[in-house]
Structure 1
């Protein structure tokens, strides 16, 4: 399938984002990534082809390649084709990445069962702390959060 102009850049950005998310300590080389894809999915994608996709130089994906990438990264194939799906999945990936930090996980678990007023106060404190540390808001703010 031909992803074409703007969408090709979007495809490259999505692939790069998934690689960065899967490897927060640093992206492996494309040869190692190709080997890991082969080990995990049984499909063979060359390191050059992966680089071309991630850099936006290639925009043509077969259904098979789409399925291979989706399977390797653990996302639905629609992630690469539908911005609404990729936004939803990215929010889930961001949450999963945050929960890898045991302190974040501990705060979330301890907050369970607190009243809505107390949760709102905690949320306001965390929002202020993020401003103080110049972190900005999380990528996606749920609609039921104050200020949404």
Structure 2
């Protein structure tokens, strides 16, 4: 019976799979440049220095790769505090989607040109904003970039 349980693996326990996916997503969003992304040892040190909580580099690696999943509430709280997300982020789909949308926006706004475009659009009429959104969508198509239809973002043709 035990081997049958382990054979089923992650598919039968989606919460466990989501933990590693959500942790990796946070790491990628906080450190978008893969070349400068910290290793697990440096990340563990930053977590300790920022929160006072301790999670070893090995344990972080094990969590991020799905090798370990037995996270204590204290460790969950430490990770949430470090990444600036509510602890529910790791456990609740709705909270995770909302936080991911906020992180995507924050990441995009790091770019001065995107920030400038957003600030310059302030005060434009809804029709003008729709026209700009359509232009951005067309520019993305021309550059073979994926659509930006995120569940929390309205489509370019929607009217608020």
What TM-score do the two structures reach when normalised by structure 2?
Answer: 0.85
Tell me how far 1:139 sits from its aligned partner.
5.7
Is the 2:88–2:95 contact (alpha carbons within 8 Å) kept by the matching residues of 1? yes
Matches of 2:116 and 2:87, distance apart in 1: 33
- Structure 1 residue runs without a partner (length 5+): none
Matches of 2:99 and 2:156, distance apart in 1: 19
Higher relative contact order (CA 8 A, sep 6+): 1
The structure 2 residue matched to 1:133, chosen from 123, 143, 160, is 143
Residue matched to 1:106: 116
1:16 aligns with 2:16: no
Matches of 1:130 and 1:7, distance apart in 2: 34
Is the 1:8–1:58 contact (alpha carbons within 8 Å) kept by the matching residues of 2? no
Write out aligned runs for 1:35-50 (5 A): 35-50=45-60
What TM-score do the two structures reach when normalised by structure 1?
Answer: 0.92
- Greater Rg over alpha carbons, structure: 2
Tell me how far 1:32 sits from its aligned partner.
0.5
What number of residue pairs does the alignment pair up? 146
The root-mean-square deviation of aligned C-alpha atoms, in Å, is 1.8
Residue matched to 1:53: 63
Matches of 1:61 and 1:117, distance apart in 2: 49
